[in-house]
Structures are given as structure tokens and as C-alpha cells.
Structure 1
Amino acid sequence: MGGDPGVSDDPVRRETAAGATAAFEAHRRLLFGVAYDMLGSVADAEDCVQETWIRWARADRSNIREPRGYLVRVVANVALDRLRDARARRESYVGPWLPEPLLTAPDAAERVERAEAVSYALLVVLETLGPVERAVFVLREVFGLPYAEIAEILGRSAAGVRQVAHRAREHVRARRPRFSADPAGQRRLTERFLAACRDGDVAGLTELLAEDVVVVTDGGGRARAALRPVAGLDRAVRFLAGLGAMYAGARAEVASLNGGPGLVLYPGGAPAVSGVPLAAAVVEAAGGRITRVLVVRNPDKLHMLRHVPSGTAPVPRDAPGGSTTPLT
């Protein structure tokens, strides 16, 4: 992050700028989390964090007693403005719009806890909320901010925020998937799903999928994908078996996406040179059967999942873990 704009060589001003940078960096991960959970886009979230830094660097910080509260207020409002614009743009999006998945590290307890609070499935549900409802839900239910603080951030009364929070919770509760499997069971189900798709195993897919399963694919007009959800067991089985043939020669990894098991498919070759993935997928399940399959193929949403050499970080959270399963 760059220094405070306009800072001279004066030692006092340099010290002030260094303090401002340190205060900002201490809360960067929090700011990214707020923006990402509100927007479902890594690129947009990073833009919001950058805009927050610019405003922080230019602000008169002498009267700011609590940097965390100030920074969260700024990033939430920046994200809210961007979310309103994004919803208008998404009306012309080609096919279904899915959030951009994030790689998370299963061995980082604090980060996994955050990621599980907003699983990929929940991010999809949050897309059905209005901008203000989503902001209130994220700030209250995910980050635990008091109603009074949220009211100050959004310029509303605390009573009004409570009402919005209640509506948002009821909306999410009615649509939030309820997984019956524990994390290990969910991972095993994901691995079985990968094997069945890889082998074009119609019988195996039929056993894994629920009767009312829905497959949603996001290509955004940039990659081949179904323009409408594929609903029903028979259609989904045929579609997924076809995907296995399409990705013959690719390499698939079971990785932690937004705190839960997911699949990332890379072009064939050595991991260090595989580049941007071909696709990422997450499955939702209930009663031991897969009820929804979410597939992201838009390359604009896959850059941050690129395979990187050990020791480097592909995203603002952690580098991927997980096993590797060749598709060939």
C-alpha cells in the first residue's frame, strides 16, 4: 500500500503516514471480508479496499478515535454504492450470475470460522437480498456489529436497522441450504461426485443426485455454459456426464472454497504451470444427496484460483490445500 498522498520529507509527517498505514493494514483483512461478502466479487472487493485506503489517507485523522469503526463505515458504504451499480449491470449478464469463489485454508482456524459463516452456498442466497438488506445481514450476522453502529454506518435509525435485519434473517433462513453431512462427509460426497463426473458414470451420478437437483453454470458469455439452470435428475445426469467428457485431460483438485470442499479444474500439465482454472464447482447436499451443483466457468471469476507455486498467496486469504485427482 502506498504512503499518504502529499506527504513531504518532514520526519513528523512521515511518522504520521507510517502510523496511518499500520492502522489500515491491521484491518485490511476485515475490510476485504466486509466488501467481499457484500459483493461476491474479489476484484470489486479489492477496489473497495483501495478506495477506503485513499479516503483514510486523505482524512483528518486527528479526531478519529477508533480506526476500525471508521474504516468499516467507509468500506461498507463504498461497497453498498458498488453493489447498487452491480445489480443493474447483472441484469444484462449472460446466463446465471454466481459469486466469485475464494480459496481458503483449512488449517487456519480463524479464517475457516469466517469462511464457514459465509459459505459459497450462503453467498448465492445473499444475492437474492436487496443491497441494504445484504449490508445489514453481513455487518450484523457475519461480523457481529451492534445495531447502533450499523445504523450510524448506513445513516438509519437503530430501530429501522433491526427491522431490516429481521427481514433479512427470515429471507436467508427460508432459502439457506441445510447440509446434513459433516465437513468430512461433505468432502467425501464431493470426491464421489468428482469421480462419477470424471468417469461419465451415469449410475453413480443417479445415486448421488436428488430427484429435484439443479445445476447452475456461470459462463458470463466468456465460456461455454448453460444459459438456464438444468433442473431434474435425468437432465442433470446427462449434463454432468457430458461435462466429464468435456474436461477429459484436465486435472481436478478438491480444495477448500469459501470454507467448504469444492472442485477446481485446471488445464492438464504440471501444477506450477497450469495457469487459470477451467472451472470451479461447489455441491450442496441434504439427506445424503446432492441438491444443487454450482459451476463457475467465467474466466474473469477464476483468476484468483490459479495454481501458484508453494510459498506464494493467490488471494487475500490463504493458498489452497487439498488433494489432487487426475481426470485422465
Structure 2
Amino acid sequence: MPEETVTDVFEDHRPVLFGVAYRMLGRVADAEDVVQDAWLRWSGADRTQVREPRAFLVRITSRLALDRLRQVQARRESYVGPWLPEPLPTDLAGPVPDGAERTVFTESVTLAVLVVMESLSPLERAVFVLREAFGYPYAEIAGTLDRSEAAVRQLAGRARRHVAERTPRYEVDPERQRALTERFLAAAAGDDLPGLLDLLAADTRLVGDSGGRAKAPLRVIESADKVARFLAGVARSAPAGLEFTVREINGGVAALVHLAGVPDSVIQLGVRDGRIQTVYIVRNPDKLGALATR
């Protein structure tokens, strides 16, 4: 196969490979590393025996991502504070597919789903991604992961039930999300406690991810009163020059906050019945660097 063709075939499938790796790992940098490793395996493989490049590449990527997931899970046990996935812009071209594949991609990379997937075992997560997000047959997943088809079916059923039971049911209408996000930002930035309380559900939760690298709560804050008072306190001590941009991140409306032109945080709201149920805030600078170039 000519070198140009080898590269073109891989690039054609790169969005799918990135999608597999990101959903399994929850970090853009880790997913990109896995895809690069997959390229090295592909470029050095005996491709005369490859009948279906996509299946071959997905198999390589899945196994590499599974190995990487087992490594990073050990590191996450010592992570400072709550862990959230690395924000992924889904409103730009790049690693995000187009057309029908894009719809499936964005639905399965929401923060709510990825957070729940963190509680799956590495094998359960791999099976869930390949089956639920990509619709691969059980027999093919079994071959990819070197497991029996019966074992894969069992893993898939367990993972599916776990995710369905624990994933919050949020509204996804983008216009309503945008309007509520803008109202939330105005109330928070204006130290408007009554305005915040009017937007929050009684059992609102705020989950902040700083990794110990920035100011953020080290525990989940629960109840509308506590969340509103925390946000109002943040507004009073916020530095001058913060800028807010509403973006599509992880398939939903989110606010990207810049300070002096540098990404400072990402804020995304989980909304149900017109009220904010969850406030996700990512402030770990290690998870924001890619946003400066996207």
C-alpha cells in the first residue's frame, strides 16, 4: 500500500479512533496519545492481512486505550478533589465526526455520562463504549478484547444498567440551555443571590475539579442555598478582566471563562424542568490548555 494511501486511510478513521479513546479515558491528551500510538502500529503493520482497516484500527485503539485506562485509574485514586472529564469542544471541526456520527458522538460524551462511566471497571467501560456508542456486534467486541462473547454480553448488560440508573436526565434543548446559562452567568457575576436561588433546584449540586491546581471546592457542594452562597462569594473575590464565551462543549452548552486571554475554567449546567440540577466547574489548568487552541 503506497505511503499516501496508508496515511489517508488512517486519517479517514481518526475521528472514530479519537471518539473511542476519549470516551474510554476522559482526557483529550490521553486520547490523542493513544491515537498516535495506533498510527505507529498501523504504519508498521503487515497490512496485506488487513481486510477491514476500520475494524483493525478500532481493535488496536481499544486495546491501547484499555491499557492506558488501567494506568490512569491508579493515578486518579490520589486525585485531589472531585474528578471531571477534560472538556472537549464539539462545535468545531477536528476530532469530532460530521453528520450522523457526530450526533452519536455528542450524545455519548456529555459530562453526566462520562462521570458515571468513571465508576465502571476498565473492561465494562470498553465494552460499553464499543457497544452503546458504536454499535459493534458482541462477537466483534469479544475478539477485540480477547474475551468470550458470553462474558462480553454480561459486561455490556451490567454496564448498561449501571449507566442508565445513575445518569441524570437533563434537558438538552440548546436554546433553553443557552438562555439559562446566560442568566446564570449574569446572576453569578453580579453577586445576585436571589437571582441565583431563583435558577437553582432545591437539591442542586456543584462539582468542582481543580486537581489541587486552582481554587475550587474539594467536596461536592449540595443544596441551592450553599451553592448560591458559594458562587456569590466567588463573584465577590473574582479578579477583574474575566471574559465569558458560550460554547458547545461535550455536546452541550457551556461557558468558557478566560482571564487575560487564557482559559481559566469551564462551567456547564445540568438542567431539568427549567431548573439547574448540577453545576460542573473544571478549573484544573492541565485540562484547559487544549481549549486555547480550539
TM-score w.r.t. length of structure 1: 0.84
Matches of 2:163 and 2:275, distance apart in 1: 22
Partner of 1:252: 244
Letter in 2 for 1:288: G
Name the residue aligned to 1:242: 233
Whichever residue aligns with residue 253 of structure 2, its letter is: P
**Deviation for aligned residue 1:106:** 7.6
Shift of 1:247: 4.8
State the shift of 1:229 in Å. Answer: 1.0
Matched, 1:135 2:119: no
Name the residue aligned to 1:26: 12
Q: What is the TM-score normalised by the length of structure 2?
A: 0.93
Map residues 63-212 of structure 1 onto 2, 5 A cutoff.
Answer: 63-105=49-91, 109-110=99-100, 111-180=102-171, 182-212=173-203
Deviation at 1:109?
A: 4.5
SS in 2 for 1:292: strand
The corresponding residue for 2:288 is 302
Residue 271 of structure 2 is matched in structure 1 by: 285
Query: Which digits, 9 at most, give the CA deviation of each residue in 1:117-149, with x for residues without a partner?
Result: 321221111111111111111111111111111
Question: What letter matches 1:228 in structure 2?
Answer: R
How far apart are residue 202 of structure 1 and its match? 0.3
Report the equivalent of 1:261. 253
Give yes or no for contact 2:172–2:252 (8 Å, CA) kept in 1.
no
Change (3 A) 1:183 1:303: same
Letter in 1 for 2:35: V
Shift of 1:217: 0.8
> Which residue identity does 2:70 align to in structure 1?
R
Secondary structure of 1:254's aligned partner: strand
Say if 1:120 and 1:257, in contact at 8 Å, map to a contact too: no
State the Cα deviation string for residues 245-298 of structure 1 (Å, max 9, x = none). 325420001110011100100014xxxxx1x30100111122221111110001
Partner amino acid, structure 2, of 1:249: G
Identity %: 53
Distance 1:234 1:104 in 2: 32
- In the alignment, the residues of structure 2 paired with residue 257 and residue 181 of structure 1 have an alpha-carbon distance, to the nearest angstrom, of 13
Give the equivalent residue in structure 1 for 2:223.
232
Superimposed CA distance per residue, residues 67-126 of structure 1 (whole angstroms, 9 cap, x where no aligned partner):
100100000010001101111000111111110011112896443442123212211111
Tell me the number of residue pairs that the alignment of Structure 1 and Structure 2 aligns: 288
Larger radius of gyration: 1
The verdict on how the C-alpha distance between 1:105 and 1:178 changes in structure 2, with shifts beyond 3 A counting, is: same
CA distance in 2, matches of 1:106, 1:209: 30
Q: State the alpha-carbon separation in 1 of the partners of residues 48 and 99 from structure 2.
A: 36
Letter of the aligned partner of 1:254 in structure 2? V
Distance 1:37 1:63 in 2: 29
Return 5+ residue gaps in structure 2 as ranges.
none
Q: Is the 8 A contact 1:262 1:280 kept in 2?
A: yes
Aligned residue for 1:10?
Answer: none
Instruction: Supply the distance in 1 between the matched residues of 2:15 and 2:80 (Cα, whole angstroms).
Output: 31
What CA distance in whole angstroms lies between the structure 1 residues aligned with 2:231 and 2:176?
21
The code of the aligned residue for 1:23 comes to V
Contact 2:87-2:249 at 8 Å conserved across structures? yes
Segments of structure 1 that go 5 or more residues without pairing to the other structure are 1-14, 269-273, 309-313, 315-328
Question: Alignment RMSD, CA only?
Answer: 1.6
